[in-house]
Amino acid sequence: MAKYRVAVIGCGGIGQKHAQGVVGLDKAAVVAGCDLSQDALNAFKEKYMDQWSNISLYSDYKQMLQQEQPNIVTIATPDNRHADLVADAANCGVRGIFCEKPLATSLIDADRMIDACEKNGTLLSVDHTRRFTSLWRHLKAQIIDGGEIGQLQYIDGRLSGKRGSIFRNGTHLIDAICYLAGSEPEWVFAELEQGYEDYTEYRGDGGRSPALEPSASGYIHFHNGVRGLYTGTSKNTAGPKWRFEVMGSEGYITIDKEAVLHKGKSSEVIEAPAWKISGIPLGVRELIEAVDGNRETTSPGQAGRTVVEVIYGFFESQKRNHTKVYLPLARG
């Protein structure tokens, strides 16, 4: 019998990727899936029938938590549903939770989730996917922290496309900037997409209607002096979805279709180690290993909260006519 019983809440395409992280892991098995769609549940069970023939299916997550008593829960629901799911799972004694991004759609919810996990000794990890890829780990550990570009100066991240709004791919962009900066944000300022000037809190529907959420352009100043530039264009802007420039005192990195290290007059493509598992599946697997080894994850809940706070710092800056807003924001 597997040591860890895993339950997946939200069994669509992303939830299936969550389960993929458990495949081949002797110490864990997926025992249950929960979704409001019976079609999604049936597809989930069929996909993983060869790995786990007795997956139980539920439409009520509270019933699933009570009956299955999982050790690990993964959550792949719309973002405006995360808070209750995480808090309830933690309060049921779950040891580890892997939650999709953004962690929450308000700071109150983010704090409620983290408080529940801390109270119950539950390890919380957030799917900011670049933290679970070989390239970004290599950039962070070997190139930036290893001193290949000298002292880190600024990080310029740009995002476009119809999912470029701040609660969609914008959360990935903010987290990537924070991850590479290696410090906590000290203050921010920002301007929201035209037409969303009075947007002060989440008004979306879990990502189904991108027009309900704004993009933004902003500045993040970190305590270690690194400057983060966040450029989110309107959702109908042409151009690549992602583009990064990481500038140091002795060189810089560009990240588009590939990552390139520039030093002096020379440039070379950065080759990251090949991994057998990467992205979302690795995030789930790392959570299980972290619970088993009593250690922190690569993408902890507190880092997910930082992203939510930067977003609300942007909103506050917009409200104050684009002025500087110091973090942390006042609670309540």
pLDDT-based confidence at residue 330 (cuts at 50, 70, 90): confident
Q: Is the dihedral of CA 127, 93, 305, 246 positive or negative?
A: negative
Among 161, 89, 163, 174, which residue's Cα sits nearest to residue 125?
A: 89
Whether 106 and 311 have beta carbons less than 8 Å apart is answered as: no
The alpha carbon torsion through 116, 121, 126, 129 (nearest 10 deg) reads 180
Work out the end-to-end distance of the chain between its first and last CA atoms, rounded to an integer number of angstroms: 45
- Bridge partners, residue 260, by sequence: 254, 269
Residue 293 pLDDT: 96
The domain at 4-129+279-299 falls in which architecture? 3-Layer(aba) Sandwich (3.40)
Residue 223, pLDDT above cutoff 80 = yes
Which helix H or strand E contains 97, and what residues bound it? strand 96-100
Q: What is the mean pLDDT of the chain?
A: 95
Least confident of 9-23, 116-130, 148-162: 148-162
Cα distance between residue 318 and residue 324, in whole Å: 10
Mean pLDDT of 161-177: 92
Cα distance between residue 74 and residue 63, in whole Å: 16
pLDDT-based confidence at residue 195 (cuts at 50, 70, 90): very high
Q: What is the DSSP letter of 259?
A: E
Quote the tokens at residue 313: 């710092």
Residue 240 pLDDT: 62
Mean pLDDT of 100-128: 98
Residue 229, pLDDT above cutoff 80 = yes
Mean pLDDT of 215-234: 94
Cα distance between residue 17 and residue 97, in whole Å: 15
Length reported for the chain: 332
Residue 294, pLDDT above cutoff 70 = yes
Q: What is the DSSP letter of 109?
A: H
Cα angle: 163, vertex 168, 174; to 5 degrees: 115
pTM of the predicted structure, to 2 decimals: 0.97
Residue 211 pLDDT: 85
Cα distance between residue 142 and residue 37, in whole Å: 44
DSSP assignment of 28-75, as one string?
A: EEEEEEE-S-HHHHHHHHHHTTTT-TT-EEES-HHHHHHHH--SEEEE
The string of pLDDT tens digits covering residues 123-135 is: 999 999 999 999 9
Cα distance between residue 133 and residue 166, in whole Å: 22
Pair type for strands 216-222 and 227-232:
antiparallel
Looking at the chain, the whole-number percentage of residues with pLDDT higher than 90 is 90
Extents of the domains making up the chain: 4-129+279-299, 131-273+308-326
CA-atom Rg of the chain in angstroms: 20
Residue 236 pLDDT: 73
Cα distance between residue 124 and residue 86, in whole Å: 9
The string of pLDDT tens digits covering residues 47-99 is: 999 999 999 999 999 999 999 999 999 999 999 999 999 999 999 999 999 99
DSSP assignment of 169-185, as one string?
A: HHHHHHHHHHHHHTS-E
Whether 116 and 122 have beta carbons less than 8 Å apart is answered as: yes
Which residue in this structure is represented by tokens 């973002």? 79
Residue 102, pLDDT above cutoff 70 = yes
Residue 237, pLDDT above cutoff 80 = no
For domain 131-273+308-326, give the CATH number: 3.30.360.10
Residue 239, pLDDT above cutoff 70 = no
